[in-house]
Amino acid sequence: MDVTESDLPGVGKKHEVDIGGGQQLVVVTHNTGTRELYLRESEDADSVKLLELSDRMARIVGTILEGAYFQPVESNHVETMLSEGTLLEWYAVEDDSPLVGETLAGADVGQRTGVTVVAIQRDDDVIAAPASTAEIEAGDTIVVIGERDNCERFEQLLGGEL
């Protein structure tokens, strides 16, 4: 892939990206931070303006394009990164899980895995910040916060592997 960078004195910078099929994507970055996107259908065609983005918007769109917010790959569970290493995760409680019928205190989730249960989703209800006496039922979805390792331990505990 070819990217050509050139200076636009008094304006900013221009990047021309070959995107295949003879097409070029032209990004003009103004000194103000505004980005303009142009598409050039072929080498000698005129550039057609696609859109203009503010500095902030350009960064957001850029990270979406980069896949930072959503990467379309196969995944068994939802994973939300709160900060470096800390996850907010959802786990479904299968019928054969050893935790079915246990209370949170009884399963000793906190001590054994290190995660904090922040909610239990049961049918249409959500039990937010459940008490330690809350009982886990088959079909629940348990929402936990914890380090990646701790979340993995909780998943094992839930699956009867711990």
Interactions with another protein, residue window 120-159 (CB under 8 A): none
Contacts of 23 (CB under 8 A, 6+ apart): 39, 40, 41, 42
Output 36 or 89, the one with its CB closest to another protein.
Answer: 36
The 13-52 site mask, x for binding another protein (CB under 8 A), equals -x-----------x-x--xx---x-x-x---x-xxxx---
Please tell me the count of residues contacting another protein according to CB under 8 A. 19
- Select from 1, 2, 3, 10 the one that contacts another protein (CB under 8 A): 10
Where does 68-120 have alpha helices with state H? 104-107, 109-113
Which span sits near another protein by CB under 8 A: 8-16, 56-64, 98-106, 147-155? Answer: 8-16
H or E segment at 51? strand 48-53
Please give the angle made by the CA atoms of 110, 115 and 119, to the nearest 5 degrees. Answer: 95
59 binds another protein per the rule CB under 8 A: no
Q: Give the up-direction half-sphere exposure of residue 56: CA atoms within 13 A in the CB hemisphere.
A: 0
Output 9 or 20, the one with its CB closest to another protein.
Answer: 9
